[in-house]
Every structure is written in structure tokens, then in C-alpha cells.
Structure 1
Amino acid sequence: MIENGFRRGVIDQTLFIKESGDDIMLVQVFVDDIIFGSTDQKMVDEFEEVMQKRFKISSLGAINFFLGLQVDQTEKGIFLHQSKYVADILSRFKMENERVVKNPLSANHGITPENTGAKVNPTLYRAIIGSLMYLTASRLDIMFATCLCACYQAQPNVIHMLAAKKIMRYLKGTPSLGLWYPRRDRFELTAYSDSDYGGCKIDFKSTSGGCQFLGSRLVSWQCKKQTAVAQSTCEAEYIAAASCASQNPVNHSKTKHIGIKYHFIRDCYEKRLIDVLQIGTQTQRADLFTKAFDRPPFLFLLNVLGVRERADVVSDKELLK
């Protein structure tokens, strides 16, 4: 790749970039699979020719399925979803005939580490959680609920199993939800961060939530328990903000002291790398990654985050072949 004029990504070492005038080509390498695209068809043709001379490869054409992720391309934009994977895990865990629920997690869910409930098969529970975690690659609507259930994999009881199965019952009613990326839109980078305060019932650490947008397109999101116990809501917010602002350079995630978090944000602000704004509760998009919601606010957050039903944004007639 380097020999043929590509430069390697600084953060993602498996990403290669090549520029020619106003055009750009991106190549992403996944072990023995490659995804590539360009703003210039000539660059695509040249890349295929070079690769076929050097390696025994086959080109499968426009991407529509990759590592469990389905890609629907139209003239209006791209829709990412995992409908087939949802059907597969529902079948694997025999949940196809279960009753549908409207939320993956109730606002008053009552999930605690108490060991009073009957124990369940931990291997089965971990298999369900692992399957759900892989689904969060496109289903951000189940991320908080899945991360919460993942905290109890050591000694799960019946309460935890019921919560995990509720997520799958929710998936049964929403199998084709995914992310819509419109073709014509703005490209400014906007990030939202939020946190709860001492939300973990095991060690009382707070949870950081964050999401990053290019225009209206959601490109990254996080739901992660903080590494240090925050002693105030302000401290929890600073940790979440620093994590969100340094989402790409991951070395910052290991710094714990609140002073470092505060000065990191302040330094970024003074260098005009970021602009810090207060976001009202009604428009805080990162809230979905820090707590559970009742149905109306849950649907509102999904809408502003760009989550759509496949049928609402793409039809089979529009798909690019």
C-alpha cells in the first residue's frame, strides 16, 4: 500500500488513504478482507488492477454485507443495519415466539447485584450478552441496556436473565432498525457527552456516555463505566467530557485525576480545538448511553441520533446493484 502512494492512518493502522487533487481513496483492511472506495472511479479501477497483479483476489463489487453488518446503498445515502444477525440470535436463543416489548430497558428496571434470586446458567447468559454486544455495532438503542447486563456475568441470577431476554424481545419488534447516512449533508464535527453519577450498584462508579456526529450522521458512540470513582456530579461530567473529546487518541483514557481532565478540556478549548457548550436536558443526545428511558423520550433520542427503520429510508427498487 505504501509503495503505491498510500499513507497509513495515524490512529487506525489498518486504514490507508490516498489523495489525488480533490479526490480521495480510502482502503480498510480486515485480516484477509478489504473494503475500499473513492470519489473517483479511476482510482478504484487502478487500485483493483494493482491488487490483482500482486495477489490472488476476487472483487465482489459494491458492498452489501460484511462481518454481520448489512449495507444498503442508494442515490440518497447509505443505511447500515444488522437485520439478519438479529434474526440469527433470536433463533439461536429460541426467542422467535416471545412477546414483543417496546423498550429494551424500563426506566425503573430495578437491576441490582443482589444474589437473592435463583442462579441461572452463566454460560448461556454470557453467550447472550456476547451476541448482544456484537449487535451494538449498529444498534446503539440497546447499548446501555446491554452494558448494564454485562456487569453481572460472573454470577447472573434470574433477574439479570430476564433483563437480557427483554432486550431480545425488544429486538424482535425492531429487527430492521439501523443508521441512516444521507449523501448530501454537512460535515462539521459535533460531539455530545454526559454521565450519570455513581450509577453502578456494584462499585458506585459513574458511566460516561458520548456520541460524535459529522453533520447529522452519527459516526461514533460510547457507553463506558469510568475508571475512577467520581466524588461529585461535576467530576463525573469532566471525566465524561474528556473521554468524549479524546475519543480517538485513546491514551488519554488512562488518566484518572480530575485536575488532568479539567486542564485537558481547558487546553483544547484555549487552542480552539473544541468549543464547549451547555446542552439542555431535552436535547442531550448522549443521555441514551447513561440511563434508561420511558417510551416517548426513548423514541425522541433515537430520532435525533439518526436511527431509522429500513423501510422508511430505503426500498429494494432504490438499491444500487
Structure 2
Amino acid sequence: MVQVYVDDIIFGSTNDVLCKEFERVMQDKFEMSSMGEMKFFLGLQVDQSETGIFLHQTNYVGDILSRFSMTDAKPARTPLAINHGISPDDKEEYIDATLYRAMIGSLMYLTTSRPDIMFATCLCARYQSKPKVSHLITVKRIFRYLKGTPDLGLWYSNDDNFELTAYSDSDYGGCKTDFKSTSAGCQFFGNRLVTWQCKKQTLVASSTCEAEYIAATSCCAQII
């Protein structure tokens, strides 16, 4: 199996001989170097062991906390308050949109290995055009949550359980602008999280049941 991203390549096989042969062929054809067993790729840290693989972005979390002066922030237990009440409040003062977008962009990249912040990040991303003070406070709470959980990530165990399990959920009319609901879903092979998504629905649900049904169909479509 080979994955190519611009000029970076990941390759692996259950047969070590094939890996060495592929490495030799590539070095004969192209000017390239081999870094050995993968430990870091596009911001992702990869810890491999006999029992499985752990993907995380601990170093990246430290970098963005430092970049946005949140290193000494008080840790939060959750990325978003239960009754957050975030909305496009016209009475609030505007903040620096460039800073806000930079913080959102940094968090969006982190969702590569941190599905636990996806809903809160996507919610805050809706207000990038005209961010207010309350929106910045909510974003900073996500950073405070990261301060207390810098080393969380994804664990892929080395076992033969590939039973497919999917989960879906939805709020109801959570968006205060157009009253659309948000669908969320995740899919597992055994205990391995392989895909996850969080997206505002394209139409306005007339009931909690309809919102949940839309979320479930979206989750099934992701599997297909």
C-alpha cells in the first residue's frame, strides 16, 4: 500500500521484502531519501508498537497554544459549555477577524486526530465573517480544553476485529441564524475509529425525529 502527498510518500506491506524492493526501485528512479519507520507525517505523530499504532498531534497542540498565547491558560474540562448560547449577537463588539480565522484554521487542522473538538470548532467556524467577543471566548475555551488534554489521539489496535459499527446524532435547530440542525456521525472497525463527520444539515428539520433521521442517513452514506 502506497500513499503519496505531493513529494511525501508512505508505503507499507505485510511482507518486508516487498517494502525493501519498492524502496530500492523508487530510489533508482527518483532522487529521494528513506526516513525509515514512520514517526511523523504532515503534522501527525505516529507511535508504533507491537499492539497497535497511536496517532496524535501533541507537538502541534503545544505550537498553537504558544502561537495564540494560551500556554498559561486555565484548562477546561470540555471543549464547549452545555448551554453555550453562541449566536450572531448584533449588540456585541466585533473582534479581529484575521486572528479569529487563524485560530479556527489551526483547530480545523487538529481535527485530523481530535474528533472530540470537531463539533465545537465547526460551530465557531460559522462566525468567521463577523466574529464577536462571545465567539472568541468560545474559541479560547477550546484551546483551554486542549491545554488540559494535549496528548489525546487515535488508537488503532493490532487485532483481527473488523466489525463495522456506526453511530449518528443530531441537535435540533441548533443554528441561531437559519435554525438548521447539525448532523454528527462516526464509524468504527472493531475499536478503531476510521471516519467521523460533523456538518450542518442542508434543510430545516420540522422535528427532533426528522433531524435524527437526516443524521442517520448521512452516517450511512459515509459508509457506502
* TM-score, normalization by structure 2: 0.96
Given the alignment, which residue of 146, 151, 156 partners 1:171?
Answer: 146
Q: Does 1:232 align with 2:186?
A: no
Say which one has the larger Rg.
1
Distance 1:241 1:102 in 2: 28
* Conservation of the 8 A alpha-carbon contact between 1:185 and 1:216: no
Partner of 1:274 in structure 2? Answer: none
Structure 1 residue 225: Cα displacement: 0.5
Given the alignment, which residue of 119, 123, 126 partners 2:101?
Answer: 126
| Corresponding letter in the other structure for 1:233 | T
| Corresponding letter in the other structure for 1:211 | C
Partner of 1:60 in structure 2? Answer: 35
1:1-321 equivalences in 2 (<5 Å): 26-247=1-222
Distance 1:193 1:216 in 2: 16
Distance 1:237 1:175 in 2: 32
Q: Which segment is superposed worse, 161-170 or 193-202?
A: 193-202
Distance 2:172 2:145 in 1: 27
Structure 1 residue 248: Cα displacement: 5.5
Distance 1:135 1:185 in 2: 29
* Conservation of the 8 A alpha-carbon contact between 1:64 and 1:70: yes
- Matched residues, percent identical? 67
| Corresponding letter in the other structure for 1:200 | C
Distance 2:200 2:192 in 1: 25
Distance 2:205 2:18 in 1: 50
Q: SS state of the match for residue 115, structure 1?
A: coil
Offset from partner CA, 1:226-283 (integer Å, 9 cap, x none): 112222223222321221111166xxxxxxxxxxxxxxxxxxxxxxxxxxxxxxxxxx
Unaligned runs of 5+ in 2: none
Offset from partner CA, 1:193-229 (integer Å, 9 cap, x none): 1212211111111111110101011011000011122
Structure 1 residue 144: Cα displacement: 0.9
| Corresponding letter in the other structure for 2:163 | E
Unaligned runs of 5+ in 1: 1-25, 250-321
How large is the RMSD of aligned CA atoms in angstroms? 1.2
Partner of 1:299 in structure 2? Answer: none
Distance 1:219 1:180 in 2: 10
* Conservation of the 8 A alpha-carbon contact between 2:187 and 2:223: no
Offset from partner CA, 1:94-139 (integer Å, 9 cap, x none): 1111111111111011211112112110110110011001001011
* Conservation of the 8 A alpha-carbon contact between 2:184 and 2:215: yes
Q: Which segment is superposed worse, 208-217 or 183-192?
A: 183-192
Distance 1:164 1:172 in 2: 13
Structure 1 residue 191: Cα displacement: 1.1
| Corresponding letter in the other structure for 1:112 | S
| Corresponding letter in the other structure for 1:150 | A
Distance 2:133 2:36 in 1: 47
Q: Which segment is superposed worse, 216-225 or 47-56?
A: 47-56
* Conservation of the 8 A alpha-carbon contact between 1:89 and 1:131: yes
* Conservation of the 8 A alpha-carbon contact between 2:52 and 2:156: yes
Offset from partner CA, 1:139-172 (integer Å, 9 cap, x none): 1111111111111111111100011011111111
Distance 1:53 1:102 in 2: 52
Distance 2:15 2:62 in 1: 37
Structure 1 residue 46: Cα displacement: 1.6
Distance 1:72 1:29 in 2: 20
Moved over 4 A (4+): none
Distance 1:214 1:147 in 2: 25
